[in-house]
Each structure stands twice: as C-alpha cells, then as structure tokens.
Amino acid sequence: MKPYVPNYVKARKSGTLAAKIARARKILEKCTLCPRQCKVNRLKGETGVCNTGTKVLVSSFSPHFGEEPFFVGSRGSGTIFFTFCNLGCLFCQNYEISHKGDGRETEPGDIAAMMLALEQAGCHNINLVTPTHVVPWILEALDIAAEQGLSLPLIYNSSGYDSVETLKLLDGVVDIYLPDFKFWESEPARRFCNAPDYPEIAKAAIKEMHAQVGDLKVSPTGTAISGVVLRHLVMPHDLAGTEKVMEFIRDHVSPDMVVNVMSQYRPCYLARRFPDLSRGITTDEFRSAVKIARNMGLTLVT
C-alpha cells in the first residue's frame, strides 16, 4: 500500500501551491475572499466584515477530543482556532473568539510551527477552525510546514459561507472539508447572521467541496484521510430547515455523505434578543432531526 501523501504536499512539489499563494495574496488587495465581497485592501491593513487586515490572530491550538471519532482517533484532532469569522452568527458559542477578537497575532511561520507541534504531539490531522477569512496565510503556512515535513491530512472546518472561487484555490490543497449547513431559508440567515444569501452560498460551496474530495475515506486504522463530512446544528423551532438540508445533500451532493446532526445549540451571545432563539432544543426536536437524516439514507456520525 502506498504511503499517505496529503494534497498540500503534492501541490508544493508540483509548484501549484506557490501559484495559489500568489493568487490568494492578490485577492487581498480588493478582498473578495469570501461572499461578503468587502473589496477592502487588506494588504494595507483595511478591514471588512471579518475584522482582519494584515494581522491574523489565532485564539488557540491544541489536540482536541471533542470532534467526530474519525478525526479524534486516539491522539486527538490538531485544532487551530482562528480569531474572528466572516459569518458572525449572533448565537455563536465561541463569540469571545469570533466576535470579541480573543487571540494573538501570528505570521505564517508561527502557524506552520503550530501545525508541526500538533503533528509532534501525535494528532491525526490539522484541523483549521474558521479558516475562510485567512486562506492566504494558511497557504503560506502550509508551504513552510510541508517543507519541514508536515504530512497530516488537512481539515478545512468552516461555516459553509465560502465562495467557490476561494475554494478553487484550495482544490488540491485541502484533504478534508468539514462544512456546516446552518440554514435552509434565507430569512433566519438574514436575521441571525446578516447573510440572506447563506443558503445559496452554502449549497454551491458544499457541492464544490464534494466535487474536489468526494465522500469520506478513512485509513486502515480508522482515521479520516479525505472527503467531506457535513455538520448540521439542530435549531429550536426547526429554524435550520433540517429536512430540506438533508434532502439537498442526498439528491444534489451525495447519498453517501457522512453527516453529523448536532444537538448542542444553546442561546449564547445575543441569542436571547430573539424569542425564537432563546432556548435550547428539545429532545423531540433532536430525535426528529436524526430520524429525518437517517430515513434519507445518509450516514450519521454517532
């Protein structure tokens, strides 16, 4: 059996990674890295919705044991939590990182050092949490880390609010996509994330992700090495539109998609300002969402 080689290592060897870095940096001059299309010059320190100019902040990096079992394995998933977010849900459980800016400034070399430290710690993958607004720095960090021998699968763990153009820069770089599909309807996405286009963006993004890496594949030892895994947070009053989301995944992305139907919604940050967001989900709401996904034949993370 051939040894595992992650996509970014192949991209570095072929020279495509260097070309992608140059293209990604160019985008920052008039930033259209994500669907917000702020068109600010981030290379001059201007900031848009994601509050990030030239300085990339990282909140923390560590082996993480709260992810899906095929990411955690026996030694943990090597998470790097980037500060700020291009979506900015008003109910975010990590609002101190995503909204308040908790984190420290880093250069690509620092991010590369974090990746290598996580590999050294025995983690099974590098798990980039909220990476959308910092893709150019990630590409540079991968170039440095791969040169120094990084060889773990790379997970792009995003809200699903990703532009297809930026995802194409990641084609042949990322090994595993771990997107959310948060809302089927535009109205809750507008009210809670100021992103009425979220459903259309997420649909296109998840299709692109799947076109690049396909369904989940695991190593002989059971840890993930490539593919897409979808996360869907069940919301009170079915605000997420679970049935439509699952139907879309089955009919338009893949009937073999691995889906994590998540139960941990609770009203955080500004959620209590909205009566329909101000409670956790009920047992019945969660069971019903799981049943929907299961009845559609999707593979559920348990």
Residue ranges that bind ligand SF4, judged by CB under 6 A: 31-34, 36-38, 40, 48-50, 86, 133
Q: Compute φ and ψ for 299, nearest 5 degrees.
A: -90, 120
Which one, 49 or 176, has the nearer CB to ligand SF4? 49
Q: Are 298 and 257 in contact (CB under 8 A)?
A: yes
Q: Phi and psi of 163, rounded to 5°?
A: -85, 145
- CA 53/CA 45 separation, integer angstroms: 4
CB of 119 to ligand SF4, least distance (A): 27
Name the residue number minimizing CB distance to ligand SF4.
48
Task: List CB contacts of 185: < 8 A, sequence separation 6 or more.
Answer: 199, 241
Q: Which is nearer to ligand SF4, 132 or 212 (CB)?
A: 132
**CB of residue 32 vs ligand SF4: minimum separation in angstroms?**
6
Q: 48 vs 103, which CB is nearer to ligand SF4?
A: 48
* Minimum distance of ligand SF4 from residue 123's CB (angstroms): 27
Q: What is the sign of the dihedral through the CA atoms of 173, 175, 178 and 179? A: positive
Q: Which of 15, 16, 154 is nearest to 78 (CA)?
A: 154
54/263 with CB nearer ligand SF4: 54
Query: Which tokens go with 51?
Result: 């509050």
Give the largest CA-CA distance in the chain. 56
SS3 state of residue 141: helix
Helix (H, G, I), strand (E, B) or coil at 291: helix
Contact 153, 103 (CB under 8 A): no
CB closer to ligand SF4 out of 80 and 258:
80
Give whichever of 116 and 128 is closer to ligand SF4, judged by the CB atom. 128
- Provide, rounded to whole angstroms, the least separation between the CB of residue 130 and ligand SF4: 11
Distance CA 81, CA 106 (A): 12
Nearer to ligand SF4, 38 or 225 (CB): 38
As measured in angstroms, the least distance from the Cβ of 41 to ligand SF4 is 10
Backbone angles phi, psi at 79, to 5 degrees: -80, 140
Q: How far is the C-alpha of 95 from the C-alpha of 63, rounded, in Å?
A: 21
Q: How far is the CB of 27 from ligand SF4 (least distance, A)?
A: 8
Three-class SS of residue 14?
A: helix
Closest contact distance (angstroms) between CB of 11 and ligand SF4 is: 22
For tokens 């809200």, name the residue: 159
Our CB check for ligand SF4 shows the closer of 13 and 100 to be 100
Least CB distance from residue 253 to ligand SF4, whole Å? Answer: 24
